[in-house]
Amino acid sequence: MSESHKFQLGTIGALSLSVVSSVSIVICNKALISTLGFTFATTLTSWHLLVTFCSLHVALWMKFFEHQPFDPRAVLGFGVLNGISIGLLNLSLGFNSVGFYQMTKLAIIPCTVVLETIFFRKKFSRKIQFSLVILLLGVGIATVTDLQLNMLGSVLSLLAVITTCVAQIMTNTIQKKYKVSSTQLLYQSCPYQAITLFVTGPFLDGLLTNQNVFAFKYTSQVVFFIVLSCLISVSVNFSTFLVIGKTSPVTYQVLGHLKTCLVLAFGYLLLKDAFSWRNILGILVAVIGMVLYSYYCTLETQQKAAETSTQLPQMDENEKDPLISVENGSGLISDNVVPKADPVWNSNKDFQA
């Protein structure tokens, strides 16, 4: 099996794992919050990250992966930023209407595209942009209801969008720059994310719910769902880093909106949530956008691979002729050599889905 086929299978596996685990944790957390009244989202997320770190530590001890330390400042900044972005998303939901919160999540894709275009000079074709517009339109129709605005909520949403975009771009870039796997990056950044949320979580949850997480009555049923949520979160966190590392932050956000549509569908089928023709129409439009995005991405990837394969024989011929190599050396470096990774600078966000 060729390396390209292995990469494609790995990508499909990562996407599938992300979808299944994310939909599962949303349904589990919905039962925990809506049915059992455990509304402490930020604190629960910190427990997710602590369990994820402990699981990865056991996996490291059993030599399932190799520890590869890299720039500690990058790890610290990345971990804290991820924790802050999760907290800001929860605050955005708490201080805004559900409709405005969904608009906040929709804004992450265009914001990511703008940041990658400005700072990394990444180009998105008009076809890709068109498919993203269709996707966002569909998810907007399906999920956005009311749009009540307030100054504090708007500022929190803006900060949530920016920190989330930067954190996801960093997830992709750090893996390429330092040549670390998704598991290695998650293992090293998890403690900082967990500590950030563990310290701020009870305060934020108390601010949003007017309840104390430590005074909550923990019945056996609540404890069961908390443990189940934490176990599923290991898969969610791992698949998040895996997907962004193998694809891109934009693709991860597209996948996130697919999860939103699936959650709406499963909520209707399993939990008997209210479902309207508007939801159905929005999901159908969103699916069309996702199919177009996947098709155009695959098409462009194949075109780039074909261009690379035609350029390599030309490079080999030029290397055989010293005169040609001297005359065209600078042109070969700038035009024909494909760098191993993009310029590099580069979540458990599914709980808020």
pLDDT, one tens digit per residue, over 43-63 is 999 999 999 999 999 989 988
Q: What is the pLDDT of residues 2-42, one digit of tens each?
A: 555 666 666 777 778 878 888 788 788 888 988 899 999 89
Of the listed ranges 251-260, 278-287, 317-326, the least confidently predicted one is 317-326
The whole-number pLDDT of residue 149 equals 67
What is the rounded CA–CA span in Å between residue 87 and residue 109? Answer: 19
Ramachandran region of residue 121, left (φ > 0), alpha (ψ -120 to 50) or beta? Answer: left
Q: Within a domain: residue 189?
A: yes
What is the rounded CA–CA span in Å between residue 282 and residue 182? Answer: 33
Q: What is the pLDDT of residues 181-220, one digit of tens each?
A: 888 999 999 999 999 999 999 999 998 889 999 999 999 9
Q: Within a domain: residue 349?
A: no
Residue 334 pLDDT greater than 50, yes or no: no
Mean pLDDT of the chain: 79
Please, what is the end-to-end C-alpha distance for the chain in angstroms?
37
Q: Within a domain: residue 203?
A: yes
The whole-number pLDDT of residue 312 equals 57
Q: Within a domain: residue 11?
A: no
Domain range enclosing 101 = 17-306
Q: What is the pLDDT of residues 125-150, one digit of tens each?
A: 898 899 889 988 888 887 776 666 67
Residue 225 pLDDT greater than 90, yes or no: yes
| Class of residue 330 by CB neighbours under 10 A (exposed 0-12, middle 13-18, buried 19+) | exposed
The whole-number pLDDT of residue 273 equals 60
- Counting the structural domains of the chain, the total is 1
Q: Within a domain: residue 263?
A: yes
Q: What values do phi and psi take at 124, rounded to 5?
A: -115, 120
Q: Within a domain: residue 337?
A: no
Q: Within a domain: residue 236?
A: yes
pTM: 0.71
Tabulate helix, strand, coil % of the chain (nearest 5). 80, 0, 20
Q: Within a domain: residue 1?
A: no
Residue 342 pLDDT greater than 60, yes or no: no
Residue 224 pLDDT greater than 80, yes or no: yes
